[in-house]
Amino acid sequence: MSTPAPPSPHVGSRPGGRSARVRAAVQRATQELLADETNEPLTIPVVAARAGVHATTVYRRWGSIGELLTDVASSRFSGAIVVPDTGSLRGDLERYASDLAKDLGDPDSLPLVRATIGAGGEQGASACTRERQQQLEAILEREQARGNQTPTVQHVIDAVLAPLYYRAIFTDKALTPDWTRTLVSHVLPD
Amino acid sequence: MSTPAPPSPHVGSRPGGRSARVRAAVQRATQELLADETNEPLTIPVVAARAGVHATTVYRRWGSIGELLTDVASSRFSGAIVVPDTGSLRGDLERYASDLAKDLGDPDSLPLVRATIGAGGEQGASACTRERQQQLEAILEREQARGNQTPTVQHVIDAVLAPLYYRAIFTDKALTPDWTRTLVSHVLPD
């Protein structure tokens, strides 16, 4: 449980001070509530109460629960995975798929993806995967810089990224290491 | 706008009478509200008001907005696509992928998928795609009955079904006929 920061005449004037703390508290409250797996959809008043701030503060800053979730997803799904550099395209893609599978298995990950798709529409959904697509581009560009041919980014998105998200979101099947390697073998046959 | 059915002493005792009408009115109201693309998540009181029934009726029957959406998705995504029978596996899969792409482009389809993923969790998401996976199984089994080898169901789910849903949900790219044919060619090379 967070409590609001004590009011201070100095803090409001410092950029990134109280404002950054409010943002952090609201983001944390959102993730905690999602992890609780209640049966009801998240609303701004519920998030505000958990964060210890006024609902009007949250409405003024984010506008809607969809925009708040999109912001939380942007933060959560940026930088969480490092682009691997194993020396080979197959190694990079296998490591990448395995890291993403692990990340989607984190308890704070899938509930956030689901809620953001539900309330944030296309913009929210795209905030969950934009950086993932950029990372795949980086992996392919490095292989091209080594002087090697690669599949297209679109092919790798369709063959590796899409099934990872599909299986996580729509099924109760585990994202196993054997299966993630199989996905890579579809785009890089032996 | 629907209005509640007039009370009648005979209707309540007829199975599928008033009860079926309430279900239809609530399902229709849910789909209409999703098509409105409001900024706020759907709630049971809002759906009940639109359907012209008491919120308690909706709570009693469905329990939560997630369960209601799961029920609506089960109805909407059952039977909407007929398993094609073109005489060849490639033809069947191409027709199937194209039909699914069209269905995901319907204005009442993607908002329902997104909302059901958001509020219905794994059970809701699975209600959107369960029949799709069964249809792919039927296509592959028919090809096997013709005495031909086929890819596994899992491979076709990963290579064809998953990218269709991934692109619809996470990107603003169109699900074009060229692209859906490319997906099938990944699992059935020339």
Domain boundary assignment for chain A: 11-63, 83-187
Asked if A162 lies within 8 A of B157 by C-beta distance, the reply is: no
pLDDT-derived band of residue A25, with 50, 70 and 90 as boundaries? very high
What is the nearest CA distance from B158 to chain A, expressed in angstroms? 5
The ipTM value here is 0.89
pLDDT-derived band of residue A12, with 50, 70 and 90 as boundaries? very low
Asked if A172 lies within 8 A of B122 by C-beta distance, the reply is: yes
For chain B, the straight-line distance linking the first and the last C-alpha, in angstroms and rounded, comes to: 52
Any idea how long chain B is? 190
Optimal mutation site among A170, A172, A176, interface B, most CBs of chain B within 10 A? A170
Class of domain A11-63: mainly alpha
Residue A3 has pLDDT above 60, yes or no: no
Half-sphere exposure of residue A109, counting CA atoms within 13 Å on the CB side? Answer: 17
Classify burial at A138, counting beta carbons within 10 Å of its beta carbon; exposed 0-12, middle 13-18, buried 19 or more: middle
Asked if B170 lies within 8 A of A126 by C-beta distance, the reply is: yes
Tell me if B11-63 shares its fold with B84-187: no
One-letter identity of residue A5: A
What is the nearest CA distance from B80 to chain A, expressed in angstroms? 19
Report yes or no: A78 and A131 within 8 Å, Cβ to Cβ.
Answer: yes
Average pLDDT, chain A: 89
Asked if B169 lies within 8 A of A65 by C-beta distance, the reply is: no
- Residue B16: the pLDDT is 66
Q: What angle do CA B46, B49, B50 make, to 5 degrees?
A: 85
Residue A186 has pLDDT above 50, yes or no: yes
Dihedrals φ, ψ of B14, to 5°? -90, 120
Residue A102 has pLDDT above 80, yes or no: yes
Optimal mutation site among B158, B161, B165, B186, interface A, most CBs of chain A within 10 A? B158
- Residue A39: the pLDDT is 64
- A83-187: what fold? Tetracycline Repressor; domain 2 (1.10.357)
Burial B19-31 (b: 16+ CB within 10 A, else e): eeebbebbbebbb
Q: Which CATH superfamily is domain B84-187 in?
A: Tetracycline Repressor, domain 2 (1.10.357.10)
The residue of chain A with its CA nearest to that of B126 is A170
- Residue A13: the pLDDT is 45
Chain B neighbors of A40, CB-CB under 8 A: 64-65
pLDDT digits (tens, 9 = 90+) for A111-160: 999 999 999 888 999 999 999 999 999 999 999 999 999 999 999 999 99
pLDDT digits (tens, 9 = 90+) for A27-71: 999 999 998 876 677 899 999 999 999 999 999 999 999 999 999
State which residues of chain B have pLDDT below 50: 1-13
User: How many C-beta atoms lie closer than 10 Å to residue A54's C-beta?
Assistant: 14
User: How many C-beta atoms lie closer than 10 Å to residue A16's C-beta?
Assistant: 8
Residue A22 has pLDDT above 60, yes or no: yes
- Residue B190: the pLDDT is 77
Euclidean distance between CA atoms B107 and B113, whole angstroms = 11
- Residue A94: the pLDDT is 97
The tokens for A38 are 């209640």
Burial A62-94 (b: 16+ CB within 10 A, else e): bebbbbbbbbbbbebbeeebeebeeeebbebbb
The tokens for A46 are 């519920």
